[in-house]
Amino acid sequence: MKLTIIKSFLLAALVVTSFACKDDLEYGPLVRDNRPAVPVTFPGATTFGGNPFIEVSTSGSGAIKFTLSIPESSGRTIKEITKVAAGATGINPASLNTATSVFNTAPIVANGTTATFETTLAAFKTKYPAVVTTPGTALAPREIAFIFLVTLDNGDQIVTQQVRARITP
């Protein structure tokens, strides 16, 4: 009887694993990357395995400038940066639909396969006074974040990954 229980358990395990392997080979919708057909990159930004970032000095002009680019081989062009969400590093794509997180009030027109977003640290501080941007204090974030909604010439919209501006003294 004990042998029959063991054989039944092994047979059941074999049946379950054979079905599981089939699903794993097909890479169902829950385990595949969510990548747009046309990727948006940030030339000039640095990354060490995380979100791309630029450095902004509080002692300088405080200029924040991100260049967004799509591959020329995609056959598409960027029509506009439709929305920009900004804030502390906790923002996410849903922030593009939150009135308090939307940074720009009008689309930023683009031309070709690149678009440029420019602002200043002072403008960011005016819009988001609660986000502390002073580097060097224990509780202050040293980075601020942006997410872009990009519209292509064919009407497709792409939400970019989060990019950051690292605040330095």
Summarised one tens digit per residue, pLDDT across range 28-49 is 556 666 778 899 999 999 987 7
Cα dist from 36 to 33, 41, 123, 156, whole Å:
9, 12, 31, 10
Same domain, 19 and 83: no
Same domain, 24 and 94: no
Same domain, 81 and 144: yes
pLDDT of residue 31: 63
Q: Give the side-chain half-sphere CA count within 13 A for 101.
A: 22
Both tokens assigned to 143: 């980075």
When the pLDDT of each residue in the chain is averaged and rounded to a whole number, the result is 84
SS3 90: coil
**Domain-embedded: residue 41:** no
**Domain-embedded: residue 46:** no
| Matching residue, tokens 């819009």 | 127
| Closest among 147, 41, 157 to 94, alpha carbons compared | 147
**Domain-embedded: residue 45:** no
How many angstroms separate the CA atoms of 57 and 167, rounded? 6
Low-confidence ranges of the chain (pLDDT < 50): 21-24
**Domain-embedded: residue 47:** no
* β-strand partners of 118: 65
Same domain, 28 and 89: no
Domain residue limits at 6: 1-32
- Residue 34 gets which letter from DSSP? -
pLDDT of residue 23: 47
Number of structural domains the chain divides into? 2
Global confidence as pTM: 0.77
Residues 6+ apart with CB under 8 A from 39: 70, 71
